[in-house]
């Protein structure tokens, strides 16, 4: 199966600036701005399923041809935008950015060019 091509903005998200408690659990500082993006290791079928689910729950117009996040036309970029729209609309809870363990919560703004990722 073909692997999803990764663009530079998504690759830069792999480095996360989160801290860990002494017990090894992930801790996000209260009030920290966060976004939900697709894991770079996600396969195409998972990314498509994530887009379909997220866009059945929230308005994904921003991904339509000619809209700000339609370019580049790369599956992982589109999945990340859709997953983040869902995550933001549901209150930024960690469980709203799981997508069957195919997502990451990041603290680095994944916006690129004219594609601005919303963040509450």
pLDDT in tens, 34-88: 999 999 999 999 999 999 999 999 999 999 999 999 999 999 999 999 999 999 9
pLDDT at position 32 is: 84
Which residue segment(s) compose the domain that 86 sits in? 8-106
For residue 54, is it within any domain?
yes
Does residue 120 register a pLDDT over 50? Answer: yes
pLDDT at position 30 is: 59
Q: What is the pLDDT of residues 9-47, one digit of tens each?
A: 443 333 333 333 444 445 555 568 999 999 999 999 999
For residue 120, is it within any domain?
no
Minimal CA–CA distance to 48: which of 34, 57, 38, 35? Answer: 38
- Beta strand 26-27 with 35-38 is unpaired
For residue 112, is it within any domain?
no
Q: What is the dihedral of CA 88, 62, 100, 98, to 10 degrees?
A: -20
pLDDT at position 21 is: 43
For residue 12, is it within any domain?
yes
Minimal CA–CA distance to 38: which of 25, 53, 20, 51? Answer: 51
Does residue 102 register a pLDDT over 70? Answer: yes
For residue 111, is it within any domain?
no
pLDDT at position 85 is: 97
**Rounded average pLDDT over 88-117:** 94
**Rounded distance between C-alpha atoms, residue 75 and residue 17, angstroms:** 25
Q: What is the number of structural domains in the chain?
A: 1
Does residue 91 register a pLDDT over 50? Answer: yes
**Rounded average pLDDT over 91-118:** 94
């Amino acid at each position: 199966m073909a692997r999803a091509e990764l663009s530079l903005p998504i690759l830069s998200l792999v480095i996360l600036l989160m801290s860990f408690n002494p017990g090894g659990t992930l801790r996000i500082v209260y009030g920290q701005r966060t976004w939900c993006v697709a894991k770079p290791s996600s396969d195409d079928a998972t990314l498509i399923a994530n887009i379909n689910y997220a866009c059945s729950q929230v308005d994904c117009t921003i991904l339509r041809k000619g809209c700000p996040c339609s370019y580049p036309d790369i599956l992982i970029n589109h999945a990340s935008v859709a997953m983040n729209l869902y995550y933001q609309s549901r209150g930024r809870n960690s469980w709203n950015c799981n997508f069957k363990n195919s997502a990451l919560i990041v603290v680095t703004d994944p916006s690129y060019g004219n594609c601005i990722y919303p963040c509450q």
